[in-house]
Chain A
Amino acid sequence: MLKYTLIPLLPLIAFVINILFGRNYIKDKAHWIAVPAVLGSFVLSVSVFMDVYAGNVINLNLYTWIVSGNFNVPIGFLIDQLTATMLIVVTSISSLIFIYSIGYMHGDKGYHRFFAYLSLFVFSMLILVMANNFLLLYFGWEAVGLCSYFLIGFWFEKKSAADAGKKAFIVNRFGDFGFGLGVILVFLTFGSLEYVEVFANTGSVLGQTMNILGYEVDTITVICLLLFCGAVGKSAQVPLHVWLPDAMEGPTPVSALIHAATMVTAGVFMVARCSPLFNLSPDAMTVVAVVGGITAIFAASIGLVQNDIKRIIAYSTVSQLGYMFLALGMGAYTTAIFHLYTHAYFKALLFLGSGSVIHALHNEMNIQKMGGLKKYMPVTYWTFLIASLSISGIPGLAGFFSKDEILWRAYTGGDLGKFLWVLAIVSAFMTAFYSFRLIYLTFHGKFRGTHEQEHHLHESPPVMTIPLIFLALGAVGAGWVGIPPLLMDHGDKIGEFLAPVLGHPKGEGTHSEELFVMGLSVLIGLAGIFTAFIMYLKKTDLPYKVGSAFQPVYKLLYNKYWVDELYYKTIVKPALIASDKIFLGFFDGRLIEGVVNGIPNLIGSLGQRLRKIQTGVLSHYGIIMALGALVIIGVMIFIK
């Protein structure tokens, strides 16, 4: 029991120590607290993975968290095949990022704070994946949101960083709004929030409907869609994707952490975790698949024209997450988790590689001002290349296996699946294109920065390059646990491992179809790379020509479809105006305060007027008395 508790607890302890004593005592030694803690979690995770591999699934409650009437929820862990896989992904990649950060953040005045937040981030993510009930999942869910707020806004003296952090948190809250309601609805429907009990009772609520605003709707569909709202926010799917590219304001290791190991994978994990619910709602599954497919192509198209090195990779993350949701929506949960796992390695590698570049160029992020870095930074270049080949789906590398499986599952998923498969294939072309556009502009050709920068170009220190090499190993080999049966019998180890939790149906199709899908995806990837090669190495005036030939399209993509502007104009600004002018200005200021201050004023002025009756002149009083008497007499006569 201690072993399981220690996995999240070690990073938490590191956080507490660094946040309390970092500023005055630990200072630039903060990594001596944080790195051993996360390595400890990694070692324990491996041991736990072994246990689970041997068939030891654990569900344990630590204590009862909240009790109120019949509502009851514990704090406890569920360690099954899915959790064990996630534990390995989270802790292994985090460990490498922590080590890398020692070099990258060296000399920053918030050094201790950085490691404190990183540790808290890992703690939150571990809670998220280890939870055995929905509310603890929600705890981790919100906590990773908080950590992203801290880390994206790490350099808070920059307004853009502070804005980006806040944006990440608030956009996520929009998703959490639905997620929270979904969690409550789970309890109201199932009478429990523990996964085991909920998933065991799914049959009993099948076909049950509920009344929402006068419409009878399928309860499970409502629950799934509400939960999925949270996933849309956390995993940056359309339309809540806007926070993720801005998250680039954080230090680069944070981007790697958010994009690879923690945070954005939470949504994918959650849907996979709730697969017994989603399986019962074809409608919800369709929504998941469509949102995924649209996001994949939407984000990839934006990535084509961006110039900020980290933003390009960020859009590639959004797009790859779209692939994962596409897979989830097709019912291919294991495939989604498989892609999550391979993606984690090559995406962390891409980010840390870009960090290495940015480090060498003293915070230059515009790839138009780079070029020819290959000879100065060989390790960065080669590892970056491996990651890009991997994401482009070149056979043998990690990305190939998982992406191919997704495409295959889409292709065999009926009419909708075919349609989404087309989207995915187009996205795959774009992915290969923008990845290699990035490579060619950054590492090939001539250096286009200042002489000052050129003078300082250097490879990063070993503390940064060694994690790159480790991740490159992952980007190559991580996929070998999921070789499709077509190529190797019993090659799909990860699928078999996860099958008890997620099920593992295979796509229905012939061998030749499977070979066709696989071959096409490889060809598409190569075509993307080749196009980038022509445009950015051979005919370097071509991009400009294409850009001006398709000016409106270029502008649309370059401005990210103006989604940010749309949200600002339709949500943020109207809300602020309503707040100031309507709520505060009119209701509070005029209406309520008008009445509140008006009554005393009215009484006051009434008094002023009544005072005039009291003239002190006897004859006036006499007349008034006489009039009064007349009225009384009149009334009495009238009544009789």
Chain B
Amino acid sequence: MENVILNQLSYSILTVMVFFPLLGAILLLFMKNANSIRWTSLLITVGALAVALPMLSAFDKTTYLMQFVERREWIPSWGINYFVGIDGISVLFIFLTILLSILSVLVSWKAIETKVKEFYIAILIMETGLLGVFVSLDFFLFYLFWEAMLIPMFLLIGVWGGQQRVYAAIKFFLYTLVGSVLMLVGIVVLYLYSGRTLDILVLSNIKYPLYLQYWLFLAFFAAFAVKVPMFPVHTWLPDAHTEAPTAGSVILAGVLIKMGAYGFLRFSIPMFPDATRFFIIPLFILSIIAIIYGAMVCFAQKDLKRLIAYSSVSHMGFVTLGIFTLNTQGVEGGILQMLNHGIITGALFLMVGIIYERTHTRMIVDYGGFASLTPWYAGIFMVFTLASIGLPGTNGFIGEFLIIFGALKAKKILGILAATGIILGAGYMLWLYQRVFFERPNPAAHHLIMDLNFREVITLMPLIILVFWIGFFPETFLSFMHASVEHLIKHMNTGTMVEDSMAQHIWEILR
């Protein structure tokens, strides 16, 4: 293989990492005691981190090629392989997934009292599914993981969720399934067109005719846009996030919705570069609408968790905008902002879960004055609020800045419109903060409240560190993606001049 680096470690690190949580889930099957299930789950998720860590030092940042690659024949008659590997685009998501899985286990410690075993099994299976998506280099394998992780998430929402859990779970499932089915059709077409290969790297280097690119782009777009979610297919998200248990919301917001944007980077852009350019203006418009619309809707929210869910729509609008600027700053900002969003929104959902455990309400009007009652909680919430509104010194700033930079570079008006999101973001987050933490304490909440305990501080600590680490030393993280992003953009820009004008022509007619 010319475009991969074979595994630089002597063992199958990716396979071990991906299936480690699944093995753990099987182990849990044989356990009874709820407490030992919790501890075992924690050990397994931390173990997955230990398994993955050697990759950080062995990872070669100077190349865009796939690393730690494993490739085995699986169903040779159909050309299906077991083929995994990571590059600069996927590596950070692996660690985000692993980290948030650990935190999900920790935050559920007291929150989940019923069907404890099943809950942790679902979490662990989901971890395997998520990791699998990010490492797969074979479409069959990819689709398997992509669909597989729907089921545990569906169960997490439907079984351990809030009052409207069944509605939310079914809505989530149907929404994503409709998108996924269209992608499946797209995969089959690719398979047939390419002469029966499902190798993602091979498929990325074929030049598809223009008409095929358009249709395939749309088919994949359906799946990814729902996942991101982009406007106007975002309405599953507030329901799913709000009804899901805390761990579910954290994983949903932290990792699951990143897969849509990851899909754009891994498939849509490299495989259908001309179609991407062809649809670029609608893509920009949808991203900008998401940024402004998502933020505006936040002002009207009465439910704390729902507000944070809607803020995700706005933040993911930044991500898609960055990715589709198709310049280095925009794409790197977009990838970093995905990571940031996982950290910040993950943390905010953890914070909401913590306060919900004490007060059993998510309504903003029921809160007030918590800064006096729970100063540590208030302080940490402030850190994430500031990160969310992109204050310099936090991770949110670096991502948003690079995206707005990229947008302004691509088209002035995009940068200007995106920057309004910064004013709106400050507006709804600080207003939220005021209603929850300032003014007189709500007398009803007084006796319920206690400040953070040790477990909760430990849960939040890694995220706080990351907020400032990325804020002050973003290069630690950006350096992983430089080579891959550079290659992606170069790949985008080679040999497409003729068809570019044709795309422009068709676009003119359509307009």
Contacts and interface: CB of A to CB of B under 8 A. Distances in A.
Nearest to A19: B379
B369 interface: yes
B127 interface: no
A600 B392 contact: no
B430 A169 contact: yes
Contact of B415 (A135, A143, A156, A184): A184
Contacts of A588: 235, 297
Given A65-B474, A139-B392, A181-B416, A579 B439 contact: no
Contacts of B301: 584
A583 B482 CA distance: 38
A177 B408 CA distance: 13
Interface string B410-427: 001101100110110011
B392 A69 contact: no
A592 B290 CA distance: 14
Contacts of A158: 439
A596 B434 CA distance: 34
Contacts of A65: 472, 474-475
Contacts of B482: 67-68
Contact of A600 (B174, B234, B333, B412): B174
A19 B376 CA distance: 10
Given A71-B405, A143-B392, A149-B430, A584 B235 contact: no
B296 interface: yes
Contacts of A602: none
Interface string A136-164: 00110011001001000100111100110
Contact of B409 (A169, A170, A188, A584): A188
Interface string A259-281: 00000000000000000000000
Given A169-B430, A181-B416, A184-B404, A146 B369 contact: no
Interface string B317-359: 0000000000111001100000000000000000000000000
Given A64-B475, A71-B405, A156-B439, A580 B332 contact: no
A558 interface: no
A401 B430 CA distance: 42
Contacts of B174: 600
Contact of B329 (A68, A157, A585, A592): A68
A162 B434 contact: yes
Contact of A580 (B300, B431, B478): B300
Given A169-B426, A188-B408, A188-B409, A153 B328 contact: no
A71 B300 CA distance: 38
Dominant secondary structure at the A interface: helix
Nearest to A577: B300
B327 A69 contact: yes
A36 interface: no
Contacts of A212: 412
B297 A170 contact: no
A146 B415 CA distance: 24
Interface in B372-406: 372, 375, 379, 386, 391-393, 397-398, 401-402, 404-405
Contact of A593 (B235, B402, B431): B235
A180 interface: yes
A69 B386 contact: no
A19 B397 CA distance: 23
A188 B404 CA distance: 12
A66 B475 contact: yes
A596 B235 contact: yes
Interface in A461-494: none
A593 B237 CA distance: 12
B486 interface: yes
B37 to A, nearest CB: 35
A158 B474 CA distance: 38
A71 B486 CA distance: 13
A23 interface: yes
Contacts of A580: 299-300
Contacts of B195: none
Given A66-B398, A184-B415, A156 B371 contact: yes
A158 B434 CA distance: 11
A185 interface: yes
Interface string A171-211: 00110110011001101100000000000000000000011
A629 interface: no
A65 B478 CA distance: 11
Contacts, number: 142
B438 interface: yes
A575 B422 contact: no
A68 B478 contact: yes
B490 to A, nearest CB: 11
A159 B335 CA distance: 39
B378 to A, nearest CB: 9
B71 interface: no
Contact of B434 (A142, A166, A173, A213): A166
B232 A592 contact: yes
Contact of B333 (A68, A166, A578, A583): A68
Contacts of A583: 293, 296-297, 300
B332 A68 contact: yes
A170 B420 CA distance: 12
A580 B299 CA distance: 7
Given A68-B328, A69-B329, A578-B296, A159 B409 contact: no
Interface in A548-580: 575-576, 578-580
A439 to B, nearest CB: 36
Contacts of A21: none
Nearest to B431: A166
B440 interface: yes
B393 A157 contact: no
A587 interface: yes
Given A575-B296, A579-B299, A181 B369 contact: no
Contacts of B408: 181, 184-185, 188
Interface in A573-612: 575-576, 578-580, 583-585, 587-588, 591-593, 596, 600
B475 A157 contact: no
A589 to B, nearest CB: 9
Nearest to A73: B401
A576 B428 CA distance: 10
B278 interface: no
Contacts of A592: 232, 234-235
B442 to A, nearest CB: 12
A69 B412 CA distance: 19
Given A139-B393, A588-B235, A588-B297, A177 B438 contact: no
A146 B471 CA distance: 16
B439 A159 contact: yes
B367 interface: no
B374 to A, nearest CB: 12
A599 B338 CA distance: 32
B405 A170 contact: no
Contacts of A69: 327-329, 332, 486
Given A173-B426, A596-B171, A67 B232 contact: no
B437 interface: yes
A187 B408 CA distance: 11
Contacts of B412: 210-213
Interface string A38-77: 0000000000000000000000000011111111000000
5 contacts: A64-B475, A66-B474, A184-B404, A583-B293, A583-B296
Interface of B: 171, 174-175, 232, 234-236, 293, 296-301, 327-329, 332-333, 369, 371-372, 375, 379, 386, 391-393, 397-398, 401-402, 404-405, 408-409, 412-413, 415-416, 419-420, 422-423, 426-427, 430-431, 434, 437-441, 472, 474-475, 478-479, 482, 486
Given A157-B441, A159-B438, A166-B434, 8 more contacts: A66-B474, A69-B327, A139-B393, A143-B393, A181-B419, A579-B299, A580-B300, A583-B297
Q: Nearest 7 CB-CB pairs, A to B?
A: A69-B328, A579-B299, A580-B300, A162-B438, A139-B392, A156-B438, A579-B300
